[in-house]
Structure formats: C-alpha cells, structure tokens
Amino acid sequence: MTRAYLAFTEKGLALARQLAEALPGSVTPCGKGGVPLAVWTAAQFAQCDALIFVGAVGIAVRAIAPHCRSKASDPAVVVVDECGHFAVPILSGHLGGANDLARAISAACGAVPVITTATDANGIFAVDEWAKRQDCHVLEPERIKRVSGKLLAGQTVSYWSAFPIEGLPPAGVQSAQAQPEADFALTFSPAGDALHLVPRIGVLGIGCRRGTPAEQLEAAFAAFCAQHGLSAACICAAASIDLKQNEPGLLAFCQNHGWPITFYPAEQLRAAPGQFTPSPFVQSITGVDNVCERAAVLASGGTLQFPKQAGSGVTFALALRPYIPDWRWTDV
C-alpha cells in the first residue's frame, strides 16, 4: 500500500512523521510554506493507495469531495486528529482498506479507531472486506449493499463458489446449490444477478505472429473471454516466449490491461509440467511445440484451466495460480 500523509500544523507534522516510521509513506506539510491542499489532494488521490490527513475531518471531506468516484476505485482516506486521539476512515473502508489502515494507525500512536461502516458496527459479515482479503475483484460494487442489507436486516444470504473454501461460513451465510440461486458468488465465470467476486489468479499465456497489433490481440482476447464465459478481471499476469519480448503490439496490449508479462526461453517452456496441445508449425518457428499453454502454466505455478484457442494469428490459454479461499480471514 502506498501512503501519503498531509499535516496542517507543526504538531500534526510531528505526528505524521511518527506514523510514517511505522507505516511508511510520504509526509507533506500544508499551508504557509507548504503545498496547497487542492494540489496535494488531486495528485495523491490519483496515484496513492491511501491518503492520511492529520487534521480535521471537515478539511479532508471538502478536499476529497471533487475526486470521489466509486468504492471500487477510490483510495483509502483516513483522518487523524493532530493529538493522535482518533483515527477516522472516511472513504473506502473495506475495498480500499481504510478501516484496516485506521486500526494500524491507532496501534502505532495509541488512537481510537472510529469505524462507522454498518457491518463492522453490528459485528456481521462484510462481503466486500472478505472479497478484498481473498484477492478478489468485486465485479458489481453496487450489489454489495444488497448482500449487506439482508444481513443487517437479520436475513440469511447464500453463496456459491467455484473453489472449496476453508473453514466454516460466518453467521447468516449459507451455501447455495447453484450460482443463479446465490446472493454472492466466488467465480471467474459470472452468471446471473448475484454479486460476483472474481479471484485475481489467472495467468494468460499468449502466442502471436510477428507484428500483431494490440487491436488484433484485443479482439482475439474478447473472443477468448466470450467463448469461456470468462471475466477478464480474473487475469493478473501474462506470459509468452522470449522471442516476443520486443513485440510492440503485445507489450501495449498487456500494458493497457495493467498485466506484468513474463517471457521464457524455449528450453524452459519445454520443461513445463503437464500435457499440452502440440503444433508442428509452432515447433518449427519457436523450438517448442506450444507457447501459450506452457507459458501460462510456468508463470502461474498452477494448472491449465482453458487450453489453446487460436484465431487471427493469436493464441491464448489460461492457467490458474493455486488458490485456497478461507472464511477465517480475520484470523490470518
């Protein structure tokens, strides 16, 4: 988590520096001789995971208001009074991690964390916090309130998961027989109107002809996702052969999606464990019988989920990293 502290007084600045020793981040004074509040807020809101204002809540609220967009993308914002008495998360309590950050700040300076999210206040299961701890992308953030609302009303919610979940479900949460019956689902193939939590565990193996443009890769990727009912949100990385490491289209395609890409030499790909779809043509060009499947498996350290799909000079395959979700997220 990247953090940025802003303080308005000498006393607040001293506290900000103390906190930054325990929870590293940049420390900036505001006001006379310091950075303008609006300038700092705009810059840090766009580039940091967390903003910590050491001052009054009202100042922070007015500063961040023009930048707030969505609970799925806004950074965590916590306000700490300059005496270090209270730490108040005011934005992205669960998905952004502001509640946890407020607790960490409190532990560092002896403050009281002031947690106001309804699920925390009532001591019930917070589906968005659980999703974050399981490294999931929340596909429809607007549906979170539907799940939380039922729990807050004393009702039971049901879940469906494509993966075995360790531990016992929390109070008020029970298993559904099928995904369409669930209130929330842990899956990389969303269907129905449940709240879908997509684990970020997919590694996309890629093969392509020389000079393939990013637009062509994008179209082939859309077809790959449609073929398998796959949410692109499950993909966290990409992989290919080192012969492709200077391909502008491939590099741009991965950069556009924010995926790091790993390139392997042919001899390393040949050593990948498992059964793969052989291609004599690919063998003659690259020195290995399959690029996309082998690269995906190597980079994931897991298993092949969707084998090679070819079209328009592009091949894709998907492998999944080992993944064990756990209901006991507050214990780990």
What is residue 330's predicted lDDT score, i.e. its pLDDT? 66
Instruction: Name the segment(s) of the chain with CATH classification 3.30.420.180.
Output: 202-320
Q: Is 50 helix (H, G, I), strand (E, B) or coil?
A: strand
Amino acid letter for position 41: T
65 with 18: CB under 8 angstroms? no
Nearest to 92 by CA among 116, 66, 56, 59: 116
Residue 229's region, left for phi above 0, alpha for psi from -120 to 50, else beta, is: left
What is residue 236's predicted lDDT score, i.e. its pLDDT? 97
User: Per CATH, the architecture of 3-116 is what?
Assistant: 3-Layer(aba) Sandwich (3.40)
Instruction: Name the segment(s) of the chain with CATH classification 3.40.50.11220.
Output: 3-116
Q: pLDDT means per 10 residues in the chain (332 residues)?
A: 95 96 96 88 96 97 95 93 96 92 96 94 94 94 94 96 95 92 94 94 95 96 95 97 94 97 96 90 87 96 94 94 90 44
pTM of the prediction? 0.84
Nearest to 285 by CA among 307, 269, 309, 308: 269
User: Per CATH, the architecture of 202-320 is what?
Assistant: 2-Layer Sandwich (3.30)
- How many beta carbons lie within 10 A of that of residue 263, not counting itself? 18
DSSP bridge pairs for 50: 3, 76
**What is the CA angle 59-119-73, rounded to 5?**
55
Q: CA separation (Å) from 131 to 71, 84, 119, 321?
A: 13, 30, 14, 17
Q: What is the fold of 125-197?
A: 3.40.1390
215 with 204: CB under 8 angstroms? no
Instruction: Name the segment(s) of the chain with CATH classification 3.40.1390.40.
Output: 125-197
What is residue 179's predicted lDDT score, i.e. its pLDDT? 87
Enclosing H/E stretch for 3 = strand 3-7
DSSP track, 302-331: SEEEEEEEEETTEEEEEEE-----BS-GGG
